[in-house]
């Protein structure tokens, strides 16, 4: 099942298959998730932790979120050892566009400075 991911401005930026993959809004595979961390599908670089439906940057600040998950930052996470590269998944069908959520409170430590798209480009 895919869940929508929103940025701090409540704009739809991606879809997440929990503990598995992240797809952009055009359903292109952009990241995979291993051991609670996101990795770029293109470069294999570590992007940051993923706590359920909450994507964090390498400093522990939220980059993308889903309303089913509370928005909170963490202390600076330790860099994990490189995960083995995931195989490209088949492209999923595009889900229906979700309704725009209410803006969450600013998390302690603030939002990530980089956009979701800059986060993917690390």
pLDDT at 73: 85
User: Looking at the chain, how many residues does it have?
Assistant: 122
Burial code (b: 16+ CB inside 10 Å, e: under 16) for 66-91 equals bbebebbbbeebeeeeeeeebeeeee
Q: Is 19's pLDDT higher than 90? A: yes
Residue 108: what pLDDT? 87
Q: What confidence category does residue 77 fall into, taking pLDDT thresholds of 50, 70 and 90?
A: confident
* Residue of higher predicted confidence among 77 and 5: 5
């Amino acid at each position: 099942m895919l869940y929508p991911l929103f940025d701090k401005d409540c704009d739809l930026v991606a879809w997440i298959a929990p503990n598995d993959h992240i797809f952009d809004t055009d359903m292109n595979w952009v990241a995979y998730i291993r051991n609670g961390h996101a990795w770029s599908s293109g470069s294999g670089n570590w992007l940051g932790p993923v706590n359920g439906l909450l994507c964090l940057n390498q400093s522990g600040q939220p980059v993308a979120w889903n309303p089913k998950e509370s928005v909170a930052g963490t202390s600076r996470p330790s860099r994990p050892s490189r995960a083995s590269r995931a195989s490209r998944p088949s492209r999923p069908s595009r889900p229906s566009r979700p309704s725009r959520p209410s803006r969450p409170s600013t998390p302690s430590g603030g939002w990530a400075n980089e956009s979701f798209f800059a986060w993917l480009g690390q």
